[in-house]
Amino acid sequence: MRFDNLYSHDFARLAVGVPLCRVADPAFNAQQTITLLRQAAAEGAAVVAFPELGLSAYTCDDLFHQRALLDGCEAALAAVLAASADLPVVAVVGLPLRVEQRLFNCAVVLQRGRILGVVPKTFLPNYGEFYEARQFCSGEEATVDTLTLLGQAVPFGSRQIFTADDLPLLRLHVEICEDVWTPIPPSSFAALAGATVLLNLSASNVVVGKAGYRRQLVSQQSARCLAAYVYSSAGAGESTTDLAWDGQALVCENGELLAESERFQRRSQLVTADVDLERLARERMRQTSFGQSVRLHAALLAGFRRQAFTLGLDREQPLALRRRVERFPYVPADHGRRDERCQEVYSIQVQGLTQRLASSGIQKLVVGISGGLDSTHALLVAARAMDALGLPRTNIIGVTMPGFATGERTRAQALRLMAAVGCEAREIDIRPSCLQMLQDIGHPHRDEHPVYDITFENVQAGERTNHLFRLANLSGGLVLGTGDLSELALGWCTYGVGDHMSHYNVNASVPKTLIQHLVRWVADTHQLGAGTDTQVLLDILDTEISPELIPGSLQSTEATVGAYALQDFNLFYTLRHGYAPAKIAFLARHAWQDGYALAEIKRVLRIFVQRFFKGSQFKRSCVPNAPKVGSGGSLSPRGDWRAPSDSEAAVWLADLDRIPDEHA
């Protein structure tokens, strides 16, 4: 299997066809359907769904009881079936079918000249403009579970799941129009029985406001069922005697709208979307309430039958992903949503901090200010917390602590920032105490040898934290932690008496890329108050991320641990979705097509795997309290992430080795 083929990573391309139709002209409708079926196959789709009663048209009314029309529909089905003989795509078409002297509104599932099954509609609307019970019977009234159709013995019934043996996570269930509008749709039980892709063959006339309601309905059903939901709809050509038709087709995945047709078009349309089957399976595995629902309805679910088929898709050719993958999964791309997200993140952090202060009875905070990004953000949160509690910002003691390699730029930024916030500002030179420590432990630097090893670096980090805790004791305050989620993931913090520790940490579940946007949002929206120096925030954003611990060298953090843009991407898909490295690299390559080469993505991902799985968990196993901010997860051992401190990274590194340096 090729790395750059979406089917190699448990994606599936789903399609919805909205053909131009003619009422009571099955031959014409079959040809329109066949054209879209072939287009779907050419585009690499695994499944394509067509509208309810699409081979006859939905608006035939009492013509459905005419033998000529019913015979014509079966002939049209035969034409579609014949056209499918050399196509791997599964097609689901709608037509009226006679079964045991009764008429059913049916969906026929077919592939490669074989009818996999027939699904009758369960709920027949007979209110308002709908009179389906006049022509059809409900599938619940069927007296047989197999039928002979076009010379094939075919399973018949609503409780069927169609499974691809060469794409095991692709499991299809079909329901028809009104079925999804009911309190408990058939697809709800199908999802509990294992269906991951729910298909709805619908006609659904349009009235004002209905399109928005359909989006909500389909989106919510996909979210509740932790599934993909494919919704078709009748379009141009249906009778407008009393109704109108907009041809709205939708594809949703776990509550997210992936694709939608253009409404009110007088032409045939094919809409495609690539759904992430692994994401759906992972969510079902993670959400224990889904499994509890399976147990609760076990007796009913036992009645589902499974029909197997082989897709036979070509996985040796490239097939690029047609799906938007955000470069910054923690940060909304839309400016409006981004501002809303920033506001909410700040509110969560402020709420957590104000509650901790109120419950402890402590009214002062001590914050180490480096002039860099994370401590800036923590100070901004602290300022808003003081405002919310009605306390002066001078209750925040900001401390900048220059060491052996502190740059004049960051020192000046720290002083400007504290002035802009209006907190109490202090400066403590830690070099004398660091020299004493180096002297006490016998480090070569005591004799002025330029040995800048990890001990030399951590002595400085430890002295800063030690000063903050003792100052907190003296002033009756809490030490506010500043380290972020990205640093915790990579173990980029000094354990224990270092930046690893604090009394409370507001940043622990906020990744670096989101902190960058939060600080910029504060500057752009003047959250600190009118007339405040916000330029200092922009200057901090433009400063190289560095621990500033080695003299004579501008240490670049990203040169050591990799670009945070990529590492936050790796973290999100590891922590939130549990993906293996090869799939993460596939997604990253798609997201960063004009940003990072695959070789660089692989290199940075290797750093992540080694640091996250092998070398850093012992630090995460004992972190201070911190509020969880986003659904992307936290690394608290009391929350989203519990892991052994002495695990190996071998299986992740082995999977990483599947990634080529270039597409192959």
Residue 242 dihedral angles phi and psi, to the nearest 5°: -130, -10
DSSP 101: T
Query: Which one of 21, 52, 252, 283 is the catalytic residue?
Result: 52
* CA–CA dist 56, 539 (Å, integer): 66
Q: Contact at 8 Å (CB) between 76 and 24?
A: no
Give every CB contact of residue 664 below 8 A, 6+ residues apart in sequence: 2, 3, 4
Residue 90 dihedral angles phi and psi, to the nearest 5°: -85, 130
Q: Contact at 8 Å (CB) between 489 and 456?
A: no
User: Chain centroid to CA 487: how far?
Assistant: 22
Query: Which one of 21, 73, 121, 283 is the catalytic residue?
Result: 121
Residue entry with tokens 């992936």: 258
SS3 530: coil
Q: Contact at 8 Å (CB) between 265 and 245?
A: no
Strand partners, 111: 114
Amino acid present at 421: V
Query: Which one of 137, 177, 225, 434 is the catalytic residue?
Result: 177
SS3 107: strand
Packing angle, helices 598-609 and 564-575, rounded to 10: 60
Amino acid present at 221: Q
Amino acid present at 82: A
Catalytic, 73? Answer no
Catalytic, 619? Answer no
Catalytic, 21? Answer no
Q: Contact at 8 Å (CB) between 373 and 544?
A: no
Q: 203-225 burial, b if ≥16 CB within 10 A, otherwise e?
A: bbbbeeeebeebbebbbebbbbb
Closest alpha carbon to 558 in 634, 498, 490: 490
How many CB atoms lie under 10 A from the CB of residue 351?
13
Do you know the residue count of the chain?
664
SS3 26: helix
* CA–CA dist 158, 23 (Å, integer): 26
Name the residues annotated as catalytic.
Answer: 52, 121, 177
